[in-house]
Amino acid sequence: MTDAVLSARPVPAILPRRGGFFGNLSDILWRNPKLLLFLMLAPPVLWLGVVYLGSLFALLLQSFFSIDEFSGLINRDFTLKTYGELLLPSNMDIIIRTVAMAAIVTLASAVIAFPIAYYAARYARGKWKVLFYLGIMLPLWSSYLVKIYAWKLILAKEGILTWLLGKLHLNWLLDAWLSLPVVGGNSLSVSFTGTFIVFVYVWLPFMILPIQAALERVPANLVEASSDLGASPGQTFRNVLFPLALPGIVAGSIFTFSLTLGDYIIPQIIGTSRLFIGQAVYAHQGTAGNIPLAAAFTVVPIVVMGFYLWGAKRMGAFDAL
């Protein structure tokens, strides 16, 4: 049968060249895969390499300049003086405050995220799976400022939280909390507690997704085997689930940690007047015009994240992304 078909319609073994500009161009690219690769890579690499990396290096370079205290002009000689300024007590305070906040926010996000991720990975099926997925994606992609705004509404003195606690006759609890030295303040919206809650809220989905991805790879019968062998639920969690979820938690913590380190809008809107790294950067580059110190401040999150990523890579966190 195939013989008949083939003989009925002879087809030339080599198709005629298409010719024309595009035909020739296509032929050239086919014969030189390297040229094609170069043409494909050139635009993105030029854009990211020149525009992005270029400005990043320019910024790092400026952190080695210093500012003349009298004239306010930037002195373009290589010096480590600006980095020395980072060690001043007032600046160290900012750095320690920010890193501590990032660490607490990361811990709290992990604790809140774990049950959601575990339920979504292990028990949610079919319709519920979709619901959980969208239930995590929608807050993740909702407007960042709107989320902060929602908390401004909630935490305001006349807002829903005070009202709710009043209905439950728990106002004394809030007042007692607000009178505590570090975490307290005039109202929740001008305290570190408020800043902390908003940070956790805004970054929580970034923690849930990688933990869920890690837990989905844990076979259910592993957990059953553990309980068959006599482990209590607590022991199963400590010895089986948690170690297997750890890469996911570390992967999620990369986001929560890095995002908290660099944020300057949340503490500005909901928080005290004491600065975080992001606010310090913003203040120094803006009104103060002290670009070198601002640049030196941005090096702190880069270095902290560098160490963090290095540690995370050793724990295998990148496989969970």
Partner 1 sequence: MRSDRSQSAPLGLKIAAACGLLFLHLPLLLIFVYAFTTEEKSYQWPPPGFTTQWFAVTWSRPDVWQALSLSVQVAAISTAVALVLGTLCAAAVSQTRFFGRETISLLVILPIALPGIITGIALRSAFNLAEIPFSFWTIVLGHATFCVVVVYNNAVARFRRTSGSLIEASMDLGADGFQTFRHVILPNIGTALLAGGMLAFALSFDEVIVTTFTAGQQQTLPIWMLEELVRPRQRPVTNVVAMVVVLVTLLPILAAYYLTRDGDQIAGAGK
Window 154 to 193, contacts with partner 1 (CB under 8 A) = 154, 156, 158-160, 162-163
Q: Are 140 and 205 in contact (CB under 8 A)?
A: yes
CA angle 277, 282, 287 (to 5 degrees): 135
Q: What span, in angstroms and rounded, lies between the C-alpha atoms of 68 and 268?
A: 29
Could you tell me the smallest distance in angstroms from the CB atom of residue 181 to partner 1? 27
288 binds partner 1, rule: CB under 8 A: no
Q: Is 195 in the site for partner 1 (CB under 8 A)?
A: no
> CB of 117 within 8 A of CB of 212?
yes
d(CA 216, CA 207): 15
| 203 neighbors 260 (Cβ within 8 angstroms) | yes
Pick the binder of partner 1 from 104, 165, 231, 265 (CB under 8 A).
265
Write down the least CB distance from residue 205 to partner 1, Å.
7
- 182 versus 235: smaller Cβ distance to partner 1: 235
Element containing residue 147 per DSSP (H, E): helix 144-155
Q: Exactly one of 95, 101, 209, 317 binds partner 1 (CB under 8 A); which one? A: 209
Instruction: Say if residues 109 and 204 touch (Cβ distance below 8 Å).
Output: yes
Q: Supply angle C-alpha 84, 72, 276, rounded to 5.
A: 50
Residue 22 as a binder of partner 1 (CB under 8 A): the answer is: yes
Q: Binding residue for partner 1 (CB under 8 A) from 6, 45, 80, 88?
A: 45
Q: Which is closer to partner 1, CB of 163 or CB of 182?
A: 163
Site string for partner 1, 132-151 (x = CB under 8 A): xxxxxxxxxxxxxxxxxxxx
Q: Is 116 in the site for partner 1 (CB under 8 A)?
A: yes
Write out the two tokens for 255: 């986001």
CB of 173 to partner 1, least distance (A): 18
Query: Which residue's CB is nearer to partner 1, number 89 or number 143?
Result: 143
**Residue 123 within binding range of partner 1, rule CB under 8 A:** yes
